[in-house]
Structure 1
């Protein structure tokens, strides 16, 4: 199975680990730095279970995907970005009234066509090649099969100094629309 997603996101002035708390408290601030883009993904492991040791329970319907994105940044920074990632996605979790959700985390690489203007600090020069992490929820409704609303955190970093200096990176918060391809 393949799916395509269109995204729009905005720079969040926070560290990745502070996003949940600052979102909950409503005190996130943003820069005039945005991107729009598209992603194409293929499911490479369609369904597997994760058993809970010592019980008969298992988390079912999980899958693994590979995803690539092309993004165009605008506002306070202007460049292209490409990402590739392996995504782990949970099974569907029913909510109410035909609505369901699953959650995904992705790990991969990101490459910017130019040094991003905002990703460094007064001590660190921005870098084009960084680690990429994605965190998303995928909401669907039974009345629209194959169509999903996808809020997402898009994170680039040097992995605490492993591949680029500390203070390199960015966090974008946004959303997209995903469609399964036939």
Structure 2
């Protein structure tokens, strides 16, 4: 069974590399994206989110992001810059501003039916006050932290509209930022429009 799974995974990856992608043409013609999304706080770690073993708490965010593709590596990887304005509400009440660079994988064999991309973003995050959910009695809490984004997009082929599922992560990168060893995670979804 494992061998069959490995062979299937290799076949999907290779067909994704060789298959033409409609996402490529749309992104080149419309390099900008405006994304709106909402998310809910989870006290769990990233690894628990990725295996769907997480819970939620009563804290939310609403975000507006402006994204622009600035480079390509071949026809399969796009490089983007993104800026975000985020409003927290519920158990936290503050604003957050994020700036990041995003690497987006574009090639999937089913893009002719459902245009798909996977993205990882890395940057910085500034909160207008020390977030309560990042405090939790920790010795160090900081307004300025590292920011990570994980995103899955799905949309109709050749459409300028798409659905976005996102993980919104702030952390001190094991003490690298102001000695902070914690952070916060929000899981959400929204929609984007290319222009």
TM range (shorter): 0.7 to 0.9
Q: Answer 1 or 2: which has greater helix percent.
A: 2
Structure 2 counterparts to residues 4-153 of structure 1, below 5 A? 4-21=34-51, 23=52, 27-45=53-71, 47-49=72-74, 60-95=75-110, 98-142=113-157, 145-153=159-167
Aligned to 2:6: none
Scaled by the length of structure 2, the TM-score of the pair is 0.79
What runs of 5+ residues in structure 2 fail to find an aligned partner? Answer: 1-30
- The SS at the match of 2:80 is strand
Please state whether the residue corresponding to 1:119 is helix, strand or coil.
Answer: helix
Q: CA deviation at 1:91?
A: 1.4
Please tell me whether the aligned partners of residues 141 and 180 of structure 2 are also in contact (alpha carbons under 8 angstroms): no
User: 1:20: Cα distance to partner?
Assistant: 1.3
Structure 1 residue 127: Cα displacement: 1.4
Question: Are 1:118 and 1:126, in contact at CA under 8 Å, matched by a contact in 2?
Answer: no
* Cα pair 2:134 2:183 within 8 Å, conserved: yes
The alpha carbon displacement at 1:31 in A equals 1.2
Runs of 4+ in 1 over 6 A off after TM superposition: none
CA RMSD of aligned residues (A): 1.6
Quote the offset at 1:62 in angstroms.
Answer: 1.1
**Displacement after TM superposition at 1:158 (Å):** 0.2
Displacement, 1:106? 0.2
Identify, as 1 or 2, the structure richer in strand: 1
- Greater mean alpha carbon deviation, residues 86-95 or residues 162-171: 162-171
Q: Distance in 1 between matches of 2:60 and 2:54?
A: 15
Contact residue 142 and residue 180 of structure 2 kept, 8 A: no
Flag the 1:108–1:168 CA change in 2: closer, same or farther, 3 A: same
TM-score using structure 1 length: 0.85
Alignment CA distance shift 1:39-1:179 (3 Å):
same
For the residue of structure 1 that corresponds to 2:47, the secondary structure is: helix
Gaps of 5+ in 1: 50-59
Q: Does the aligned pair in 2 maintain the 1:157–1:164 contact within 8 Å?
A: no
Query: Deviation of residue 159 (structure 1)?
Result: 0.4
